[in-house]
Amino acid sequence: MEQDELLDFVEMSDEIAVHQHHPNVILHLDIDYFYAQVEEVLKPELKTKPFGVKQGLNIVTCNYLARERGVGKWKPLKECLEKCPELVVVNGEDLTNYKVYSKRISEMLHAMFGPTEKMGLDEHYIDVTKEIEKEILCDKSSTKQKEHHFIGPMYPNESTFDECKCQCKERLMIGTEIAQRVRTKLQEELKLTCSVGIAHNKLLSKLVGQMNKPNNQTVLAPTAAKAFMCELRNLRSITGIGEKTAARIEELGIKSIEELQNFDILKLQKKFGNDMAQRLKEMSLGIDSSDFKPSGKPKTVGLEDSFRPISIRSDAAEKFHALLSRLMIQIQDDGRVPQSIKVTVRKYDPAKKNSIRETKQCTLAPSLFRCSDGKIQLTEGAEQKIIKNVLMLFDRMVDLKQQFNITLLGLCFSKFQEQKRGPASIANYLMKKQDVEVQSITNLSNETCSSFNDSFRSKTASPSSSLMDFETISNNSLDLSGSEESEEPSPKKRKKINLLLVARNRRYSSNDDIASPSKLNVSDLHLNAFDSCDSIRTTPTRIISPLCSEPIACSSSSLRQVEIPPNIDPTVWQELPLDVQRELMMNWQTTTSAPSSTTGTTSIPKTKLSGTKKANNNNTLHKYFVKNS
């Protein structure tokens, strides 16, 4: 941004809210004291008592009776009990119930509005712009005009809404009515209360919703955005400005949001750069152009457990087992399989009296998980394998030869992948008639292919052939007992086969390439699988052909014995056009007349075709996908 543009931005800032168009209406929904309120729903007797929810050695949230007695969020348990001796403490380290209610809230909102932008377990941004447009259209088409009114507190007052030139007053009115419907439905269905902010962007809807908590809603006039921002306590009250950013801003002598609004943007740019400086300036004025981002399933699912210092590895292993069990409960209904696990360790240094937090992660094999009755579960022995990997990461972060003090451990699943099941799964695809496991092709021995050729030639009179099951390959034999038949190729497939045969025959034109399976392209393998083995023949095959290979007249009743190249399926050869047969024969004859073939034998380079241990390997692609589907 040029200097003149920056100055224009500053001059425009005082009137930007008045002249700006405000087409959107965003609701920010925040469940009141979420963990504590869920506990109240599950245990109604707690409603009349001051109580807090404990995680580790801290009170993470509490009801309003406890707050009136000086108990705060994220305060040490000891300090809270000193301020409120009658405080009832509820253990909230198991998040299962909270996540269940969070999911119910999401499902309810999704049924009302479609996707929302979820923030944590208890916050949602809801874009109700389209809902409002529908209501306005219905009002215009109706013979009786519906009157709308503001519901709940307004900032600063109703007359302020008339100052905006974009006529957003009606939209915000309907927004307050929708917010009221959401709050009522939430109370009736889930027995939960919430606070809602209504504004024209996400930043302001979140901030204004905090004005009249709990169990209330507040709407903000767009023209009052700048004044509203000035009333916030400090810089960190702005969503998006954290402790470090606030400290850097204060280094410039800025102590309040109003000072940030009036600060020279050029100086701000020197400190933070152009983009960040403009973003800070806009946030101080209540301007937020960030898009509404509908949320999907969580990208990570994790748990942490804090405790008194432990210094024995077996104690850590025990806690990891407990964390993994709780973590599996949380993802059992997710329908996805994690492919990575992250381990978190917090080490306490008594000498320096500080804590160091460190994380490491490793990948997880999909075979560790299975789907049973619609729930994701660990396979047999998977828990021990995962814990073994977790402890390996733990050992890399903690020096077991030295005294250590661990005060927190955590596990987190990430890189989730949908569990494919049903007819669209890969496992089902691999079980189709025409599918073969090409990974076993290179393990066929010369003896195997030879025995296969003999078997195949005895069946060439039959129009259909049995499919080869590569899972049944033993040391030196093939099981050809399959009952399924190969479908006759369509004209399109037949044309492709013809082109494939020509291309492959040309690859064999050099001595080094003759019958070398290591150079066969997997993409060129014929799905029937017979062609793959038969291409290793070293002697030509003679077949009865109704076609004359020479340009001479022949009667339709006469049949000739014709030699064909050794790398072509006899049944396919008979279906090839005459010109293609001639070209293939010429290419083959050129190859066989090369100097290397004058000895009378065909030299086959040594490859990995000889029997190896890999021929006995049962770890096939098909088994892998079936096991994990």
**Residue positions annotated with a catalytic role:** 123
> Could you please report the per-residue DSSP string of 381-449?
THHHHHHHHHHHHHHHHS-TTS---EEEEEEEEEEEEE---GGGSHHHHHTSTT---GGGGGG--HHHH
Is residue 372 helix, strand or coil?
strand
Task: Give burial (CB, 10 Å; 0-12/13-18/19+) of 441.
Answer: middle
Read off φ and ψ for residue 217, nearest 5 degrees.
-145, 150
Q: How many helices (H) and strands (E) are present in the chain, helices listed first?
A: 23, 18
- In 142-204, the DSSP E strands lie at 154-155, 194-199
How many of the other CB atoms lie within 10 Å of CB of 462?
10
Distances (CA, A) of 231 to 228, 238, 293: 5, 11, 28
3-state SS, one letter per residue, for 215-244: CCEEEECHHHHHHHHHCCCCHHHCCCCCHH
3-class DSSP state of 80: helix
Q: Please confirm whether the linkage preceding 570 is cis (ω < 30° from 0).
A: no
Cα–Cα distance between 127 and 200 in angstroms, integer? 10
For the chain, the maximum distance between any two Cα atoms, rounded to a whole number of angstroms, is 113
Pair 234, 259: CB distance under 8 Å = no
Please tell me the distance from the alpha carbon of residue 579 to that of residue 595, in angstroms, as a whole number.
27
Distance, in Å, from the CA atom of 20 to the CA atom of 29, rounded to the nearest integer, reads: 25
Could you give the CA distance from residue 267 to residue 455 in angstroms, rounded to a whole number?
86
Question: Among 168, 158, 154, which residue's Cα sits nearest to residue 18?
Answer: 168
Other C-beta atoms lying within 10 Å of the C-beta of residue 126: 26
182 exposed, middle or buried (CB, 10 Å; 0-12, 13-18, 19+)? buried
Q: Are 376 and 332 in contact (CB under 8 A)?
A: yes
Neighbours of 308 (CB within 10 A): 9
| Residue among 308, 557, 535, 553 at smallest CA distance from 442 | 535
- Gap between the Cα atoms of 442 and 139, Å rounded: 73
Q: Which residues touch 310 (CB under 8 Å, ≥6 apart)?
A: 316, 319, 405, 406
For helices 265-272 and 3-12, angle between their N-to-C axes, nearest 10 degrees = 120
* Single-letter amino acid code for the residue at 159: S
What count of residues does the chain have?
A: 629
For residues 308 and 371, give the distance between their C-alpha atoms in angstroms, rounded to a whole number: 37
Region for 33 from its dihedrals, namely left if φ exceeds 0, alpha if ψ lies in -120 to 50, beta otherwise: left
